[in-house]
Structures are given as structure tokens and as C-alpha cells.
């Protein structure tokens, strides 16, 4: 399962979001999106990643893949309609930073393994409750039961209880410092940290969670698509249970970069 997750992780992540690949842009918004990806690929010194669009009104973005040669970037319709061109550049530069740092390699593998855990739990449920237990009832309910079914029941209960915890801590094993580093690389590629600060504020103030992006892939996104309150706080608890750094801290750091850059040129 781990080997399969490694080979097909990016495809599974994109499939889970119902993303469609943009090969021939159909309108001006899509053409601008493709152009900006190409610009940021040149700025970062990387090959152009494959480009995807997610049908969701909530603004968000993520990158996935094993390395720069197999990388993908995806944004939602909502992002293209919410940010201006400079802000879109900054968001995509952030994702190119993840690709350049190979953050996508670990995050994609984690997302795929999370899906494997969920599939394993669902498969055991079907074996136990759709086949094994029903078959036991039809067989007259003999005392003692089937030892194999009892073992499967224990495994299923453990996976059902531990799966949410495993999902959380696999995602959290990707250091939140990687988000700060990708923010800094966006500022380096665009020379415009204030554009990313503005984009992050717009994304954060969106009214709804990103419905097409599920819990298992939330840690890939530029902001938490599930709108969890832990990502808004600082301190010991937030450090261990949030998938992203506090937005206020990210924005403050970017604005400080912009202030220092403006002061250096004045």
C-alpha cells in the first residue's frame, strides 16, 4: 500500500478534489492562470508543473507530486475570482517554493497514506458487517463465533478509533515552518511580499470551507481548507494540533519583509 501510495499519490490527491487539467485554456481567466504559472516557473528556475483547476467557490491552492519533474499545481475557481494578478503570482510562487523545497514529496505521500488508512478501515467494515456478521446470523448464531472475525473486529475497532488520530499527526509531522519558508520563497520569487500578505488575508476571510478538498489533503493547501480554529491560535496547543501557522503571524512576517524592502530602497 505504501509503494502504491508513493507511485499514485499525486493522481489520487487530484482525483479526490475533482480537479480538471488545463491544457487548452478556455477563457481569459484560465489563460492568465497558465501565464502566471509559467512566469513563476521561470522565476523559481523549475520546469513548468502541470496545471489543474478545482470547481469550488472558496479560494485555495496547493501543489503535489514527487519532485519538480512530476509536480502539479491546482487552484480553485474561487481563488482566480478573488485575487488580482499580483496576488495570484504570489500564491503560485508560494506553491513553487514547496516544489523547490521538495515539501510536496512528503506531503503527497502523507496524503496518500491517509487515504490508504481510510480504505483499510472501510474494507474491514464491509468484511465484518456486510459479510461476516450477517453470515454468522444466518448460520444460527453458534456460540464462540469465528475467531478470524473476532480478530478482524478488533483490527477494525482499532483502525476506526486511531484513523482520525493518525490522519492528524501524519499531517502535523510536516513542520509548520515549511509554510513560513514557502512564504519567504514567494517573496523572493516575486519581490512583492505584500501581494502574498494581501492574498492570504482574502483567502482567510472567505466565508465557507473548501468543499472539494477533504481532511486527508488539507495539509497540502496554502491555508486550511476546513476552517479549523486551531490554525488561528498560537501556543503549545496550536503548534501540535494545527496544520498551518497562525494567519496573523504569516501576514505580519510578510508585511515586515515588505517594510524592510521599502526602507532599503528609500
pLDDT digits (tens, 9 = 90+) for 22-36: 999 999 999 999 999
Of 95, 177, 201, 208, the active-site residue reads: 95
Strand pairing of 50-54 and 72-76?
parallel
Active site residue 179: no
How many other β-carbons are positioned within 10 Å of the β-carbon of residue 242?
21
Banded pLDDT at 8 (limits 50, 70, 90): confident
Is 80 exceeded by the pLDDT of residue 74? yes
Segment 54-64, tens digit of pLDDT: 999 899 999 98
Q: Which of 98-102, 103-107, 176-180, 226-230 has the lowest mean pLDDT?
A: 226-230
CA distances from 57 to 27, 53, 78, 153, 226 (A): 17, 11, 4, 41, 14
Of all helices (H) and strands (E), which one includes residue 64?
A: strand 61-64
pLDDT at 231 exceeding the cut of 50:
no
Residues 6 or more apart in contact with residue 209 via CB below 8 angstroms: 58, 225, 226, 227
Q: What are phi and psi of 64, to 5 degrees?
A: -150, 170
- For the entire predicted model, the pTM comes to 0.75
Query: Where does the pLDDT of residue 107 fall: very low under 50, low under 70, confident under 90, or very high at 90 and above?
Result: confident
Residue 179 CB partners (closer than 8 Å, separation 6+): 244, 245, 250
Q: Is the pLDDT reported for residue 106 higher than 90?
A: no
The CATH homologous superfamily for domain 2-104+175-265 is Metalloproteases ("zincins"), catalytic domain (3.30.2010.10)
Please provide the average confidence, as pLDDT, over all residues in the chain.
Answer: 79
pLDDT tens for 151-195 read 767 777 776 666 657 666 666 656 677 889 999 999 999 999 999
Please count the other Cβ atoms lying within 10 Å of the Cβ belonging to residue 46: 17
Of 63-67, 111-115, 195-199, the one with minimum mean pLDDT is: 111-115
In terms of Cα–Cα distance, which of 250, 212, 194, 220 is closest to 78? 212
Pairing of strands 72-76, 61-64: antiparallel
Residue 235 burial (CB count, 10 A): 9
pLDDT at 257: 92
Amino acid at each position: 500500500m505504501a509503494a502504491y501510495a508513493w507511485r499514485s499519490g499525486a493522481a489520487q490527491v487530484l482525483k479526490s478534489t475533482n480537479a480538471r487539467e488545463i491544457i487548452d485554456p478556455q477563457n481569459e481567466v484560465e489563460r492568465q492562470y497558465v501565464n502566471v504559472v509559467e512566469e513563476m516557473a521561470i522565476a523559481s528556475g523549475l520546469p513548468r508543473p502541470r496545471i489543474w483547476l478545482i470547481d469550488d467557490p472558496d479560494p485555495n491552492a496547493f501543489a503535489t507530486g514527487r519532485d519538480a519533474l512530476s509536480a502539479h499545481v491546482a487552484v480553485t475557481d474561487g481563488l482566480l475570482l478573488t485575487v488580482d494578478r499580483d496576488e495570484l503570482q504570489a500564491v503560485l510562487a508560494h506553491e513553487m517554493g514547496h516544489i523547490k523545497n521538495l515539501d510536496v514529496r512528503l506531503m503527497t505521500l502523507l496524503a496518500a497514506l491517509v487515504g490508504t488508512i481510510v480504505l483499510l478501515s472501510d474494507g474491514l467494515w464491509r468484511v465484518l458487517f456486510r459479510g461476516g456478521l450477517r453470515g454468522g446470523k444466518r448460520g444460527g448464531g453458534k456460540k464462540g463465533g469465528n475467531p478470524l472475525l473476532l480478530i478482524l473486529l478488533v483490527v477494525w475497532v482499532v483502525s476506526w478509533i486511531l484513523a482520525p488520530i493518525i490522519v492528524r499527526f501524519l499531517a502535523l509531522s510536516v513542520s509548520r515552518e515549511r509554510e513560513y519558508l514557502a512564504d519567504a520563497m514567494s517573496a523572493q520569487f516575486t519581490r512583492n511580499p505584500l501581494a502574498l500578505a494581501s492574498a492570504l488575508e482574502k483567502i482567510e476571510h472567505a466565508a465557507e470551507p473548501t468543499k472539494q478538498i477533504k481532511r486527508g489533503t488539507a495539509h497540502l493547501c496554502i491555508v486550511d481548507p476546513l476552517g479549523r480554529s486551531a490554525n488561528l491560535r498560537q501556543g503549545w496547543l496550536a503548534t501540535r494540533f494545527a496544520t498551518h501557522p497562525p494567519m496573523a503571524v504569516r501576514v505580519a512576517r510578510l508585511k515586515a519583509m515588505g517594510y524592510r524592502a521599502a526602507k532599503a530602497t528609500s
